[in-house]
Structure 1
Amino acid sequence: MEQSDLSEQKFNTIFTYAPMGLAEIDQDGKMIRLNLMGQALLNPICEIYEIDAENIYPILDRIFPGISQKIRDYKEPMGQIIYNHLHNFKLPLPNNLSEKHFQFNVTKMFEDCIIVGFEDLTNKYLEEKAMQQANLDSAVAQGKFEIASEVLHDIGNAVVGFGSYLTRISRSMEQNNVANLQNVVLFLKGQQIALSTVLGQEKAEALVNLMEGIAKTQKDSYEETNGSITEQLNIISHIQEILAIQRHYVTGHGAPERKAVNLKEIVHDCQSMLFASYDKKGIALSFNAAEQMPMIKGDRTKLMQVILNLLKNSVEAIDMDAPQKRITIDLQFKDKLLQLRIQDTGKGFDTHTAARIFERGFTTKDTGTGLGLYNCRSIIESHAGSIDVHSEGTGQGATTLIRFAS
């Protein structure tokens, strides 16, 4: 075989099996030859538009409108007509499920010999776009982490300060004179006969009763205040625990080891933390659970985040002037599942909202981010659980059901 024949054979092989579409055409677009990849890319388009594949111009114009005119208008004897032009297009219904991205190179080799190169870069384009979005998300997340770190630091300082004031109040309460008042009452009772001689029986009895009332009021007030301080100190302890764990997440140290947690205790703590919210609206909140409930293995802080978010949603869904203002929490162990049900008499939602309620970024609130329920589901599913939110319709309230295997 002569050298020229061998070179031509090699060229034909390279042309035929090239990993991109290659078409040799004349000035009028007549197809002289089309390689295998070109057939794979263009044949589906020919079928969709019912185009004869003998001329490439009608096919190319469907993908890249005006490309055939550019080729015709090129009057030089040879040269690059189009170089690395990326063009996106959609196929007609019902084939336009995704946008296509083709890159074109058109070269005039000599008179009546034009090579059209085309490549489907859709997957590469989508990968690069996904990478760019991932980099953007990473940069945004890093910015959020930095802001969150500063906010957590400020909150931590405020909580420490608040805790210090409560501790000082608690110490001052220890010096309360309730015991002294009670001793005065006992003394007056012991001296009631003598007092009657001086003041008269009626006035003596009135004095003793008055001091007894003052002592009782002071004692009740002391116990209530002391109980509130203790409760607030417990809440501060929980907040500090949450802040410490969140700092680990923000700084990239990851989640702590999961331990056995008591869901009933978590619900109680969440109730305490939101007391002011439902008390302000006059919402009746009830919690029903058996005395002993099985434990689950999990991240206490994350589970608290979920329940706080769900209870907060219920509170916000109930208007101040609503005829019924009630939130009911039920914790049951049934069919080997620990089931937490939260029902409210709030606004409820329609089927359109129900279909999108766990969608990232979807919110019905004016100031919402659309991340609350999305994050809740992520946390629950990371605990091998499930969460479902249901409503009979607008104005019918909502029910959230969480299930954990125990």
Structure 2
Amino acid sequence: MTRIFIAPSKYIQGSGAMGEIGKYASALGSKALVTGGKRALAVAQGAIESSLGEAAVGMVVEGFRGECSQTEIRRLMGVAKNNGADLVIAVGGGKVIDTGKAVACDLGLPVIIVPTIAATDAPCSALSVIYTDDGVFESYKVTPTNPSCVLVDTAIIAKAPVRTLVSGMGDALATFWEADTCYKSQKPNVLTGGTPPTEVAYMLARLCYDTLLNYGVEAKFSAERKVITPALEKVVEANILLSGLGFESGGLAGAHAIHDGFTALPATHEKYHGEKVAFGTLVQLVMEGRSRKEINEVLNFCKSVGLPTNLKGLDVIDPSEEDIMKVAKFTTAEGMVIHATWFPVTAEMVYAAIWAADAIGS
């Protein structure tokens, strides 16, 4: 058995970090395709353009159309080719980040990730989650390398909607519990090819969890006031770096598979990734037969920061038995990461755990 740990080449975090992007970009290419959503580009494009200009790096800007789908990946690849870009800079949240990684991978280019929200642990990983054009989970795309650079400007993160930071905590909340499942099962990690997790990945996942418990509420208060505090810096690092390293080299399991299953219900499409993962974590703990103390610790944390703890919180109102079985069957399809669990998992087990977790969290 081999143990594998992977990570981005550089991680930069701090207030005003955006002003340094030209220095890092100039070492990777001479002309960048910069893509992001409207809000992300509104808050970051000026600083990026100024810093790239000072470093004599050209740029072409192309708006992201909202979904990390094969259609959008192919479209942005065409823009990069037509404009002679030799570097990709993805600016914004999880879906544009995953799209940027996929575009760079398919073109054989380096990529700089610039999250403007701390809503997911996508920035550091060599993974893109691909959806259909309608937002239904389709597949995981594992890229050969991690991003060349991840640059996080906490002055921008602090001004982002509070819900995005809280969603990031929901995504990061799963990291330790999924890594713990993979540590117990000793099954191959589909993201790295290694087995079992390295000790450092497991401990980073634990540090991520402990950081959330210790600083999550205070960080939310800071974000509500749009100020940078040590608690906010710690939670941003937990959401992006610790969770990114922990999930990728520690492994995914039930929580993220359950998230993917819920994308089969259109009612959940307006909920953020981390919001669905948070409830997925509760379902995972119930399904695995974790102790009441452990379940309550996660449940109480979710309530303290405002993460969903039941189906209603995911906008799944009065679901039918068929609806929940549809989620369960999607979750347990062949190749889904829930099968990293240390025992065989069936759709019936997930179905029961969803209903039980809903009752516990209601």
What range is the shorter-chain TM-score in?
under 0.3
Q: Which structure shows the bigger proportion of residues in strand conformation?
A: 1
Relative CO higher for 1 or 2, CA cutoff 8 Å, sep ≥ 6?
2
Task: Please give the TM-score of this superposition, normalised by the length of structure 1.
Answer: 0.20
Larger gyration radius, structure 1 or structure 2 = 1
